[in-house]
Structure 1
Amino acid sequence: MKLDLAGKTALVTGSTQGIGAAIAAGLARAGARVVVNGRSEGSVGKAIDALRREVPDGEFTAGAGDVTTDEGARQVVAAAGQLDVLVNNLGIFGAQEPMSITDDDWRRYFEVNVLAAVRLIRLALPAMMDRGWGRVLNIASDSAVVIPAEMIHYGTSKTALLGVSRGFAKHAAGSGVTVNSVIAGPTHTGGVEDFVYQLVDKDLPWEEAQREFMKKHRPQSLLQRLIEPEEIANLVVYLSSPLASATTGGAVRVDGGYVDSILP
């Protein structure tokens, strides 16, 4: 299969590091012009420098701005220009005792993990539908389906994102635009390393800490290891391509078999 995104422009939110940076690199390798997003110009500039070292022939554009605000989202979309692919990757997570999650915590998680995506879809989708081609991908999580007791607010926000994806896919029906969620499993990023050490002995070496975390806190994983960000990116690049034209309204799993289901 040839995943050819030449001539397409993709915006990846929260793409200065982790899964977002891996997605940006993967889309660039497939030929897309990639708009790299983060809150500050400094962080975006450093990320682009790193991405250009990783993908020397890739085309990257800065899209600094806080997409959790209406002004910031409009600023980023304006910087991107005509958008063909929107990847709503931005998200926050963290362990918290269930009864200590405040109303403000709940609001913050929904603002960042759900409403930022909705805001950008509203800005980008109409033009995609008018042109008859586009891809919207919302990066969800296994926690959307298997709600973790230690981060109910995070899991529930990702459940909502699955509903957002399905609803907007129905809105775009027949237009040539597809809208999907990607259910990412436990993934190896800097933030996840910090999260793992919240739950296991901080004195353990990383490889041992990872095994302990998977054994105690994610035992249902069939992969029995953390997923690498590039493995998430591979699925996103495919779903962003013309080859995925018949996949829409889905919640497509790249979760290492974590969700105990025979359905996607």
Structure 2
Amino acid sequence: MKIELNGKRAIVTGSTKGIGLAIAKGLALSGADVIINGRSRESVEHASEELKKATGKAVQSFVGDLSLAQDCTKLTETFPSVDILVNNLGIFGERDFYDTGDDVWEQFFETNIMSGVRLSRNLTPSMIKKGWGRVIFISSESAFNIPSEMIHYGVTKTALLALSRGLAKRLAGTGVTVNAVLPGPTLSDGMIEQLQDDIKKNGKTLDQAARDYVMRMRPSSILQRPTTTDEVANMVVYIASQQASGTTGASIRVDGGVIDSI
């Protein structure tokens, strides 16, 4: 299977590092014209340069905090017509339920959910007119396995599944597909940073520390290691392609078998 996205314009939110950057790279390598997004000019410029070196393609960008309604509006005014929207932007962090105030809930809701709502609402009309489009929400296996140590995060990831399914039904028959991708524990920059104490204290390699972390935190993992950012990106690139035209309204797992269901 050869995926070609030549002539397609894609926006990947929160794409200056980790899964988002890997998705942007994968789309660009498949021929798409990619727009990356981050909150700081420095991070966006660094990621743009990295992508250009890796893909040989010029990259467009938007600097803005998409948890804010006004920045979502600015983005869609700057790029009013796209073919692929990857709602990757998200924040996470452990916090006990009883120490999680309304301000934290609102921050997670605005960032993890409303950014995708606003961008999808503003950008899908042009997709409908063209009769082709892809909207992809990056959820998480935590949508099913709600973490007791960060309930607020799990709730937002579950909400993305409802949003994705509902929007897919709303866009039925238009040629625009809407899907959610559910990564499991992923060896991103955040996980690598989190593992540094274990590596230093116990003399482990990064690979061993990562495997131990997965089996400690997600013992149901069949893969028994974290996925890589490229493994997640590969699925997103496929879902964004013409070859995935028969898939919509789906929750697609790249979780290493963590979710224990048939």
If the length of structure 1 is used for normalisation, what is the TM-score?
Answer: 0.94
Secondary structure, counterpart of 1:164 in structure 2: helix
How far the C-alpha of 1:15 sits from its partner, in A, is 0.4
Q: Say if 1:28 and 1:59, in contact at 8 Å, map to a contact too.
A: no
Provide, for residues 82-116 of structure 1, a one-character-per-residue CA deviation record: whole Å limited to 9, x for no partner: 20000000000111222211121111111111111
Q: Say if 2:5 and 2:32, in contact at 8 Å, map to a contact too.
A: yes
Q: Given residue 257 of structure 1, which amino acid in structure 2 is its aligned partner?
A: G
Task: Kindly report structure 1 stretches of 4+ aligned residues shifted beyond 6 Å.
Answer: none
> C-alpha separation between the residues in 2 aligned to 1:195 and 1:169?
36
Q: Say if 2:80 and 2:123, in contact at 8 Å, map to a contact too.
A: no
1:184–1:112 CA distance, 2 compared to 1 (3 A): same
1:139–1:171 CA distance, 2 compared to 1 (3 A): same
Aligned match of 1:13 = 13
2:221 pairs with 1:217 = no
Secondary structure, counterpart of 1:203 in structure 2: helix
Provide, for residues 117-172 of structure 1, a one-character-per-residue CA deviation record: whole Å limited to 9, x for no partner: 10110111111112111000000000001111111111111000000000110110
2:178 pairs with 1:182 = no
1:82–1:258 CA distance, 2 compared to 1 (3 A): same
2:193 pairs with 1:194 = yes
How far the C-alpha of 1:42 sits from its partner, in A, is 2.2
1:201–1:102 CA distance, 2 compared to 1 (3 A): farther
1:151–1:77 CA distance, 2 compared to 1 (3 A): same
> C-alpha separation between the residues in 1 aligned to 2:200 and 2:135?
38
Secondary structure, counterpart of 1:135 in structure 2: strand
> C-alpha separation between the residues in 2 aligned to 1:94 and 1:29?
32
Provide, for residues 37-70 of structure 1, a one-character-per-residue CA deviation record: whole Å limited to 9, x for no partner: 01122211111001111112x2410121111112
Secondary structure, counterpart of 1:180 in structure 2: strand
Q: Say if 1:94 and 1:195, in contact at 8 Å, map to a contact too.
A: no
Aligned match of 2:159 = 160
Aligned match of 2:251 = 251
Q: Given residue 245 of structure 1, which amino acid in structure 2 is its aligned partner?
A: S
> C-alpha separation between the residues in 2 aligned to 1:166 and 1:27?
23
Q: Say if 1:61 and 1:80, in contact at 8 Å, map to a contact too.
A: no
2:82 pairs with 1:96 = no
Aligned match of 1:203 = 201
Q: Which moved more, 1:71-80 or 1:35-44?
A: 71-80
> C-alpha separation between the residues in 2 aligned to 1:125 and 1:193?
35
Aligned match of 2:239 = 239
Provide, for residues 5-51 of structure 1, a one-character-per-residue CA deviation record: whole Å limited to 9, x for no partner: 10000000000000000000000011000001011222111110011
How far the C-alpha of 1:81 sits from its partner, in A, is 4.2
Q: Given residue 172 of structure 1, which amino acid in structure 2 is its aligned partner?
A: L
Q: Given residue 177 of structure 1, which amino acid in structure 2 is its aligned partner?
A: V
Specify every segment of 5 or more residues in structure 1 that has no aligned partner in the other structure, as ranges.
none
Aligned match of 1:70 = 69
Provide, for residues 197-216 of structure 1, a one-character-per-residue CA deviation record: whole Å limited to 9, x for no partner: 68x68624433432331221
Q: Which moved more, 1:253-262 or 1:211-220?
A: 211-220
Aligned match of 1:230 = 230
Q: Say if 1:95 and 1:195, in contact at 8 Å, map to a contact too.
A: no
Aligned counterparts, 1:49-68, within 5 A: 49-56=49-56, 58-68=57-67
Q: Superposition RMSD on alpha carbons, in Å? A: 1.6
2:127 pairs with 1:143 = no
Secondary structure, counterpart of 2:63 in structure 1: coil
> C-alpha separation between the residues in 1 aligned to 2:207 and 2:97?
28
